[in-house]
Amino acid sequence: MRTVQRPAVTALLAAAALVLAAGCSSGTAPRPDGGARPTPATGSPGASTSAPAADLPPPKGSVKVTRTVAQGLKSPWGVAPLPDGGLLVASRDEGTVSRIDAAGKQTVIGSVPGVKPGGEGGLLGLALSPAFASDHQVYAYFTTESDNRVARMIYDEKRPAGEQLGAPDTILRGIPKGTIHNGGRIAFGPDKMLYAGTGETGDRGLAQDKKSLGGKILRMTPDGQPVHGNPEADSVVYSTGHRNVQGLAWDGANRLWASEFGQDTWDELNVIGPGDNDGWPLVEGKGNKPGFVDPVEQWKTSDASPSGVAYAAGSIWMASLRGERLWRIPLDGTKPLAPPEAFLTSTYGRLRTVIATGPHTLLLVTSETDGRGTPKPGDDRILELEVT
């Protein structure tokens, strides 16, 4: 347990009081830690319930690498599976999107104009529109000269290779950018709304500043507008108090899970509800502070530095960069069923993205060419895994 840069007691109590005041409204239910979580909107994380014993995952799991889907990728970050079995992959540092077909062939389909790579910024998360079959829209989160933003582009396979992405239509701009902590993960939820994880760019105060989009999880319509059921009707901010959200996934009960970088002591896996405040920079890890929501699990930063997360086989699977391993967290509702298990430790290096493609199958993306790894021949790779 560790509190980072703890202010004077009076200042902390005042900050906690402000958070509680902001988070309380009619229809809120008290939490055991003294905080409050607003009643979830349709499609939002629900109450914690335990599953019948027959539906629970085993305490111990397994991971088998079944094949290498692609290799030789440069700074891969976001990945979006296509309906035909292919993949779209974003190159953070090159600002390009490539298609990988079922045979592993790679084709650059286009570049995203305005991408300004640097540090941890560049072309980051990708997501397909829920109506992709009819609108052919691809969403991207990326860093520009002035900010981070979310845009959508039409993917037209009939155009020549390299020219298949249409002009970006920016749906949200003004997310703070920095050399570090740009967030970047985007995903459409079960409610068909777009969620985005952002970072506080190293400016810690942004995480608690409700007027800033930094250090937040955002929830918006496919057009980038605030959604009914958000904590504030005119805001896309869904939860606050985050340092650098890198992974988003929903479990079988449509609860939202997110991974987050700690600073020196604790990395986090959180279950997210509307209006939650996860505490950064006043709390790192499990602080048991009124008004702040503790993580479900935490890790030493040397063991994790988490990026993408996915839900499969009754567990959350979490890719780790510095930790160079894939973590399995078996769940009973919102509680861990057993201690986390580590797989593939130091086998493939830094791990960036993990995506569920079936009840027991995952795609895992390595990140050795991001400037912090030690690339080997064939890096970076996308691996297919069979998991239990």
Distance of CA 76 to the CA centre of its chain: 15
Confidence at residue 54, expressed as pLDDT on a 0 to 100 scale: 66
Mean pLDDT of 220-238: 97
Q: Percent of the chain, pLDDT > 70?
A: 87
110 has which bridge partners?
A: 97
- Single out the residue of 261, 305, 296, 299 nearest to residue 280, CA to CA: 261
Confidence category of residue 149, pLDDT binned at 50, 70, 90: very high
For 269, phi and psi rounded to 5 degrees? -120, 125
pLDDT at 51: 65
Average pLDDT over residues 57-78: 98
Q: Please check the confidence at residue 231 and state whether its pLDDT lies above 90.
A: yes
Lowest mean pLDDT among 46-50, 70-74, 357-361: 46-50
Tell me the mean pLDDT in the region 190-210. 98
| The pLDDT of residue 50 | 66
Q: How far is CA 358 from the centre of its chain?
A: 19
Q: Which residues contact 109 (CB under 8 A, 6 or more apart)?
A: 88, 97, 98, 99, 155, 161, 162, 164, 165
- What are the pLDDT digits (tens) for 249-266? 999 999 999 999 999 899
Q: What is the DSSP string of 205-237?
A: GGGG-TT--TTSEEEE-TTS-B-TTSSSTT--E
Cis-peptide into 281, omega within 30 deg: yes
